[in-house]
Each structure stands twice: as structure tokens, then as C-alpha cells.
Amino acid sequence: MGISESERLSRREVLKAAALAGAAAVVGPTILSRRRGEVYAAGAPTHPAINPLRVVGIHDPHMTAEEKVQTQLAEQDAIVRAEVVRANLDKLACALAGEKEPKAAWGRIFLKPPRKSWSEVVVAIKTNQIAQQRTRSAVMASVCHVLVGLGVKPTQIFIYDACHGNSMNPYAGVPEGVVFAKQWGGSVTPVPLPPPYKEGKAEAKCLKHLADGTVDILVNIALCKGHNDAHGKFTMCLKNHYGTFEPHCRWGTRETRGPAADYLISINRTPQILGEIDAASGKVLFPRQQLCLIDALWASQPGPGGLPTAQPNRIFMGTSAAVVDYVVATDFRRDTMGWRINDEVAEHILKEFGLTPGDLPNQGKVMQVAA
């Protein structure tokens, strides 16, 4: 699937990406500084090779063997066709990267630090382990096999949920040696938060391995569930990092600039998630979170607890959590499924990342990939 002219990076974005790539060539992994000067510049690219505004999705009923909506994870895993999921993830990667072959596509999405070999790279995969809806094994296993295919050692891949990881299910089909890190020590290391939360004058506890720079690549595998109004009435890629940073919830408010929405935005603008940030320019020197994926084989209007209320047989993919969440929330959850979202919070999230709905390609819709 090619990229139309309207979907390509603008000249300004290309220049930004080129500058990023040049910086990445000389910057190796370092211990992340806690200086407050390192604040992400809204609108700066978060990946040097992939258009951060691009969100791709696939709808394929053949990813599951039968329709069985309100089910637990074990029942879901039993009817998921793993080989179809893996093939569709390859198609999504090709569409996202603008490549014809999966190997080339994954090689554009996943970038190793220039001073490391692939066998030295440490990958963290944030999974979702809350309540009855959890990441499906076929999705997790497919991503792990892609990483191992690039040269990452299975023992260097850590699957975690710092909040709910103690109840982590063993994912079937992952390469032998992949580490089920569970809580991985939990969110224990204080780091400064950028604006908008408390105007950038607060701290929050983060997973140590992200706070100290141990992790080279972060993969965000989220689910498609509902939540309260203060978080936009949805929980996907952004809120998945409530299992990376200590959770902060305020219930029952629809404030656009309420503390819950601002906290959600701020933790996702940190160098711990985005990667090392240049203090002078606010640019991401080397991307840490390199893939944001939403497993919507099953989904729900309410949440975050409870069983699924729908079986959409869909997967969505991009590199910017804010863009992925906005596009999927508005195009899929609101317009396709008819589920209410808090549009004010959704647009506030986009704005804090330097964007407006009019900036998004394809009229802000998911770019659909043929199954």
C-alpha cells in the first residue's frame, strides 16, 4: 500500500526528520537527565522515519474463528487465528512505513541505537493486564517474533505492566526466553513532568528501567476500552502508560483541562516515553516509543473493567500515541461504533502535542488496509 501525496510528510516535517536522523547517528543511549529543561516541543516529530500523523488499521473477521463477544482471555485466545493476525500485522507495518516488503517495513519502524548491535538492544513491551480484557497472545507473540527476527535476543524483551502485572497471563506463542517481567519492580522512580500538568512543576513515579535509560525501544500494545469522561471516555495508547507511571485518576469530571487529562498528557510527553530530548530545541534525539498498537480484536464501550461488548476484529497502528488515540477514538469508537467520547478532552490531547484535527491526513480517518 503506497502513500498518497496528501499523506506524505510536508517539506518542513521531512527537514525535521532529517535533523532527527542526523542526531540519532551520533547519540547513543544515555542515562536520562532529570533536568526540567528537557521538555518536548509540541509538534516535533517523534520518529525520524515514520510520519507520526499516519494511523493505519485493518478489519478482518478471519482473525477469529467464531463470534463470541463476552468472553475471558483464555476463550479469546482459543479462537484467534494467530497466523492471520501475524499476516495482518505485516500488512499494517508495510502501510505505516510505505514499504512493499514486511522486513523492510519493520526495519523502518524499529530502530536500534547506533552504538549498539541488535543483540544488545533492550525492548520493553507495555501490555494491558487490567480486569477481564487483556492483550491477546497472538498480537503479543507476533510483535515479539518480529523483534527477534531483527536480531533482538528473546531474553532482552521484557513484557510488563507496572501497575497490574502481578496478574500477568503467560502469552502463548512468544519466543522462548522472552521475559514476563510482571510489574518489573513497579513505578518507583520519581521523574519531573513537563506541562500541562501543574504547569510542569510536579513529579511522578515511573518504571525504573525507563527512568534510568535501560530500555532502548518501547512498544505500546494497548486495548480499545472505555473509561471516564476526564480521560476522554476512552483508554488506549496514552492511558496504557498508567502502567508505566503511577496512575492518577479523577472521576466524574468533564473538565477539558482537568488534572486527569493533563496528567495523562504530561506522562506521555516525558523523555522516559518519547526518548531523550534535546534541552535547547525540544526535539526527540532518538525515539524510544517506536510503535503504538491497539489490539481491537475485542473492544468495549464501557470500561476499563468488565467483559468486551463488541468483537470488531480490528487492529490499529501508528507511532504517535496521541494521534493514534485521537483518530481511533473519533473515527472508530465514535463514528463507526457510535460510542460517545469526550470530544473536548480528545482535542485537548491533540492540541498539547502541537496538532489540530485539520492537520491530520485522510480527513482524520484511519487509513484502512485491505485484509
Tens of pLDDT along 266-302? Answer: 999 999 999 999 999 999 999 999 999 999 999 999 9
Q: What is the pLDDT of residue 259?
A: 84
82 close to 145: Cβ distance less than 8 angstroms: no
CA distance 339 to 342: 10
Tell me the pLDDT of the chain averaged across its residues: 89
Mapping DSSP onto H, E and C, the string for 176-199 reads CCCEEEECCCCEEEEEECCCCHHH
CA distance 323 to 292: 10
Tens of pLDDT along 27-56? Answer: 334 444 445 667 999 999 999 999 999 999
**Span 115-141, average pLDDT:** 94
Q: How confident is the model at residue 303 (pLDDT cuts 50, 70, 90)?
A: confident
307 vs 131, 162, 271, 311, CA distance in Å? 8, 22, 34, 11
Residue 211 has pLDDT above 60, yes or no: yes
Specify the DSSP element, H or E, that contains 19. Answer: helix 11-26
Residue 87 has pLDDT above 60, yes or no: yes
Across the strands, what pairs with 157? 123
| Global pTM value | 0.90
CA dihedral 228, 230, 246, 136 (to 10 degrees): 40
